[in-house]
Amino acid sequence: MKFLHTSDWHIGRGLPGQSRDVEQRKALEEVLAYAIEHEVDAVLVAGDVFDTSAPSPESESMVYNFFRALYAAGIPASVIAGNHDHPRRWDAIAPLLNTARIHVLGRPDTGAALTQFESRDGKEKAQVIQVPWIGERDGVDFGTLQQESADPLRQYAARVGQYFELLCNSFDPSMVNVLMTHVFVDGAKVGVGGGERELHIATNIYGVPASSLPTKAQYIAMGHVHKPQNIDCGTTASYCGPLLQLDFGEHDQAKYVNLVELHPRQPAIVTHLPIKAGRHMVDIGSPDKGVLLGDLAEYAGQNETSWFRVYVELDLPVPNLPQLVRSTLSSAVRIERVNAGAETAGPSAQERQNLQPAELFSRYYASKAGKGREANAALIGLFNSLLTEEQATEEEATL
């Protein structure tokens, strides 16, 4: 049997001042094309379908049109809610979607967790256990959360692990057995600012250890962590990640969906199918070293294929800096000024108590303008005038 595993669409998420609806729609078209081309027996959507629990009508239209197209192609799907989705909203629409063979589960439910699929030739059957996002209060007693001596993280991990075990006891070795869940697994890696680091339950994150993942499952389709990766747990467990690079911390991550081939009692065969619809997240400069305004033109050819975060090297503040940058880079969504020569250390709290306002202003100006640049007498005079005016206004207000 063949499955297409995808997750974390975050439909509706944009960037400052920019919609990404076109990219998201094209990405879903790629997913549909892969499902048809590879004649998959079902599509697995492992949560965070929407970016918010109250998605816009446009976002809902995009998702439901995708499901409608799947149905028209004769391809069923299994869908679970993630932590960004509204679980009751999904459960409310589940009966309608189920008639289109889109099997949806919003809240964990032992009675509705099992979904079965049949191969196109009718020779094989699969069981898919659906475990949506389990919130902290769903996995931990409320009283435990209030007790300083209690360990809610450990209790959460134990209960979710027990829930996995309970559900997966129904697996039949003569069938294909899949677990789909939206969960954080201890030790999963995330990209932060372009770097890579591991997250652990010990860092106050609610999750489960890899040892809690059931080896009875031939494949575990996971959502929640955006960096695509496999988890070492005794079976094939995979985060496939989003369809798009969603923020600049993901700028070095390739995006794909997993094509999973499974047969009873055999290990999973996983193939990565690239998703090419999304623009690349590109940093120009860095917080430590910006670029000059005149150097931005060399990136202008990427305006249609990239989103930019731009660090501009400037000695003095420029009031219309965003407009200046976007006159060359229309796809710049974040623009920050970098002043490598600025003073970084300011006066201590004790020193500030002994300084007059004009001196504090003078030091602040120097820290922003850079070494060798000081506020002149005219600027200090203007500051004193504004300060006097403000103090007079405050005194009048107290009378």
Q: What is the pLDDT of residue 386?
A: 81
Q: 308 with 394, same domain?
A: no
Residue 291 to residue 311: CA distance in whole angstroms: 6
Over its C-alpha atoms, the chain yields an Rg (Å, rounded) of 27
Residue 370 to residue 339: CA distance in whole angstroms: 7
* Distances in whole angstroms, Cα of residue 270 to Cα of each of 1, 173, 228: 12, 20, 13
Q: 369 with 228, same domain?
A: no
Residue 139 to residue 247: CA distance in whole angstroms: 30
Q: Look at residue 344 and tell me if it is in a domain.
A: no
Q: 150 with 227, same domain?
A: yes
pLDDT digits (tens, 9 = 90+) for 237-257: 999 999 999 999 898 899 999
CA torsion, points 207, 213, 219, 225, in degrees to nearest 10?
Answer: 10
Q: 302 with 163, same domain?
A: no
Cβ neighbours of residue 359 closer than 8 Å, sequence gap 6 or more: none
Q: Look at residue 188 and tell me if it is in a domain.
A: yes
* Segments of the chain with pLDDT less than 50: 145, 149, 193-195, 343-344, 398-399
Q: Look at residue 157 and tell me if it is in a domain.
A: yes
Q: 319 with 177, same domain?
A: no
- Please provide residue 317's backbone torsions phi and psi, each rounded to the nearest 5 degrees: -60, 145
Q: 333 with 355, same domain?
A: no
CA torsion, points 156, 216, 84, 8, in degrees to nearest 10?
Answer: 140
* Residue 169 contacts residue 146 (beta carbons within 8 Å): no
Per-residue burial over 52-89, b = 16 or more CB atoms within 10 Å of its CB, e = otherwise: eeebeeebbebbeebbebbbeeebbbbbbbbbbbebeb
Residue 218 to residue 262: CA distance in whole angstroms: 8
- The domain total for the chain is 3
Cβ neighbours of residue 55 closer than 8 Å, sequence gap 6 or more: 11, 12, 63
Q: 180 with 239, same domain?
A: yes
Rounded to two decimals, the pTM is 0.82
* Residue 267 contacts residue 229 (beta carbons within 8 Å): no
Residue 349 to residue 279: CA distance in whole angstroms: 46
Q: Look at residue 89 and tell me if it is in a domain.
A: yes
Q: Is 48 left (phi over 0), alpha (psi -120 to 50) or beta?
A: left
Q: What is the pLDDT of residue 378?
A: 74
Between strands 306-313 and 332-338, the pairing is parallel
Give the domain extent around 84.
2-274
Return the DSSP state at 205: -
Q: What is the pLDDT of residue 194?
A: 40
- Kindly give the residue spans of alpha helices, DSSP state H, lying in the chain: 21-37, 57-72, 87-98, 136-139, 142-146, 152-168, 321-326, 349-353, 357-369, 377-398
Q: 131 with 87, same domain?
A: yes
Q: 107 with 211, same domain?
A: yes
CATH number at residue 218: 3.60.21.10
Q: Look at residue 223 and tell me if it is in a domain.
A: yes
Q: Look at residue 240 and tell me if it is in a domain.
A: yes
Q: 390 with 258, same domain?
A: no
End-to-end CA gap in the chain: 81
Q: What is the pLDDT of residue 340?
A: 65
pLDDT digits (tens, 9 = 90+) for 193-232: 444 567 777 667 889 999 999 999 999 999 999 999 999 9
Q: What is the pLDDT of residue 151?
A: 78
Q: 362 with 230, same domain?
A: no
Cβ neighbours of residue 203 closer than 8 Å, sequence gap 6 or more: none
Q: Look at residue 343 and tell me if it is in a domain.
A: no
Q: Which amino acid is at 272?
A: H
Helix (H, G, I), strand (E, B) or coil at 93: helix
Return the DSSP state at 184: P
Q: What is the pLDDT of residue 97?
A: 96
Q: What is the pLDDT of residue 130?
A: 97
Joined tokens for residue 77? 């799907």
Q: What is the pLDDT of residue 203?
A: 66
Q: Look at residue 253 and tell me if it is in a domain.
A: yes
Q: 102 with 160, same domain?
A: yes
**Among residues 292, 319, 338, which one ends one of the domains?**
338
